[in-house]
A and B are shown apart, each in its own frame.
Chain A
């Protein structure tokens, strides 16, 4: 039975993202919006009792029209899932939409190489998260983040593999660097070249040059120490570990020691001036993500 599911998954996957040619599926915002316009008969899903179809479609439309607005919620551990969402929302919004509608209607679906059949707890909880800021009114994003957290497991999730209310803020939803890269490869079929780790920094001599060069050819996700990025010098006892994923959008040298970085996180773009030494200090992982264009 299990093998049947997996086989079925791969058949659907090939229809969805065409892995036989090993090319990353791409589509446009216009194609996605045209597809969304046709979803006039979407009825309430038996699988997702707390996700209203009207709000679900409104949320999907917002994500397609303004991909930067996807928001991980306040005090959750969804930043990794939100960061990787940047990729399909910009490069293949139609593939993302097809998957979301499939899982809403049927309670199971395939995305890339992954077959999703979420647990009963997730289906009940999606749409009920509250006190998370704008995520409260984005039921499709709740569904998407919880689905990914439920499906992908890394060593950080070892002691908390099953969802209980409130786990969205805990290690159940945590994402380590290798898990992030695995999710990007398996879901969206990108080529991912990464340096760094969960504990040791990449040790780049010139991070500005390294990042600038790679931004020319693809997307960059950074795994950073959030405590340093936002909290600064309030505590003496600080653990130098990365806890946050951002998408780097631009990096510009201001002078010999200062750069302006523009990145996406928390539903919007931020421009921040930082010193090069500070940049070296906060970055633990760099993923250079490029679409595959060749044939297998």
Chain B
């Protein structure tokens, strides 16, 4: 009729080729779309993202803390308040009065942190903190931000997070745009065991299964 009749073995072979091609196509398109998504997302939200980074740096300088959301509906805040002797971890519902009380109790800039929470919520930023790293035995720090991008969720697959790192100084990259440890050393600088890629001289990204 309308379909050529193939011997069963050949038909099976053709089906297998079709499935393999489809899988490869899907894999390729997902890799490309993730890379495009990552840089495009950053430039589309650059003002908000750099605003969050700057606010966090200013507030962190007053009193060290880390901030995030513990659920994907962005209704529960998790805050880590860092002192010289101990770290306090609290979790609150977003409008719970205890949140403000706790910020006041630990002399944290309550208004600034509340604004930061709202900024983070607006672009689905799940976590922000300050990370130490070492270059030539010298301590340096970066701002680590993870975002839950709805666009790259694949059903039944582990969650993927869009991670941004903000450095104070320009960084070194190889020809493929991968973050290097130092200019003359071709060793990749990994953070949380992930390779990061260039967005600009001071900002890098990766897609990770770990949000912090």
Q: Which chain B residue lies CB-closest to A168? A: B193
- Quick check: B90 and A230 within 8 Å, CB to CB? no
For the complex, give the distance between the alpha carbons of A262 and B85 in Å: 12
Please give me the residue from chain A that is nearest to B161 by CB atom: A234
* Binary interface encoding of chain B residues 179-205 relative to chain A, with 1 for a CB under 8 A from any of its CBs, else 0: 001000001011111000000000000
Whether the Cβ atoms of A136 and B134 lie closer than 8 Å is yes
- The reply to whether the CB of B132 lies closer than 8 angstroms to some CB of chain A is yes
Chain A residues near B175 (CB-CB < 8 A): none
Q: B residues 61-88 with Cβ under 8 Å of A?
A: 70-72, 76, 78, 85-88
Binary interface encoding of chain A residues 121-142 relative to chain B, with 1 for a CB under 8 A from any of its CBs, else 0: 0000000001101101100000
Give 22 A-B contacts (CB < 8 Å), ordered by A residue: A75-B193, A130-B134, A131-B191, A131-B193, A133-B131, A133-B133, A133-B134, A169-B193, A232-B91, A233-B70, A233-B76, A234-B71, A234-B159, A235-B158, A235-B159, A268-B86, A268-B87, A269-B85, A269-B86, A270-B86, A271-B88, A272-B90
Besides the known contacts A131-B133, A131-B193, 18 further A-B residue pairs in the complex with CB atoms under 8 A apart: A74-B131, A74-B191, A75-B192, A130-B187, A131-B189, A133-B133, A133-B134, A137-B137, A232-B76, A233-B76, A234-B70, A234-B71, A234-B211, A235-B158, A268-B86, A271-B88, A272-B90, A273-B90
Chain B: interface residue count, which band?
20 to 34
Specify which of B72, B88, B181, B192 is in contact with A130 (CB 8 Å cutoff).
Answer: B181
A237, B158: Cβ atoms closer than 8 Å: yes
**Do B72 and A233 touch across chains, with their CB atoms under 8 A apart?**
yes
Instruction: List, in ascending order, chain A residues with CB within 8 A of B190's CB.
Output: 131
Contact of A232 among B70, B86, B87 (CB under 8 A): B70
Binding site for B on A (CB under 8 A): 74-75, 130-131, 133-134, 136-137, 169, 230-235, 237, 262, 268-273
When the two chains form their complex, are residues B159 and A270 in contact, meaning their CB atoms are under 8 A apart?
Answer: no
| Cβ–Cβ contact B193 & A272, under 8 A | no
CA gap between A272 and B212 in the complex, in Å: 18
Nearest A residue to B70, CB-CB: A232
**Which chain A residues lie closer than 8 Å to B71 at the CB level?**
232-234
Contact A234 to B126, CB < 8 A, known contacts A268-B86, A268-B87, A269-B85: yes
Q: Which B residues are within 8 Å of any A CB, using their own CB?
A: 70-72, 76, 78, 85-91, 126, 131-134, 137, 148, 156, 158-159, 181, 187, 189-193, 211-212
In the complex the two chains form, is A271's CB within 8 Å of B86's CB? yes
Q: A75-B192, A130-B181, A234-B126 are in contact. Are A271 and B134 (CB under 8 A)?
A: no
State the CA gap A74–B130 with chains docked (Å): 13
Among A75, A137, A235, point to the contact of B134 (Cβ < 8 A).
A137
Note all chain A residues with C-beta closer than 8 A to B148. Answer: 234
| Chain A residues with CB under 8 A of B132 | 133-134
Most buried by A among B71, B86, B137: B86
Q: How far is the CB of A68 from chain B (nearest CB, A)?
A: 9
Write the chain A residue with the least CB distance to B209. A235
- The answer to whether B87 and A270 have CB atoms under 8 Å apart is yes
Q: How far is the CA of A100 from the CA of B138 in the complex (A)?
A: 25
Cα A232 to Cα B159 with chains together (Å): 13
Contact between chains at A230 and B86 (CB < 8 Å): no
Contacts of B76 on A, CB cut-off 8 Å?
232-233
Instruction: Closest A residue to B90 by CB, please name it.
Output: A273
Neighbour of A74 across the interface among B90, B158, B192, CB < 8 A: B192
- Give the one of A75, A137, A232 with max B CB within 10 A: A232
A204 to B162, CA, bound (A): 39
Contact indicator A230/B192 (Cβ below 8 Å): no
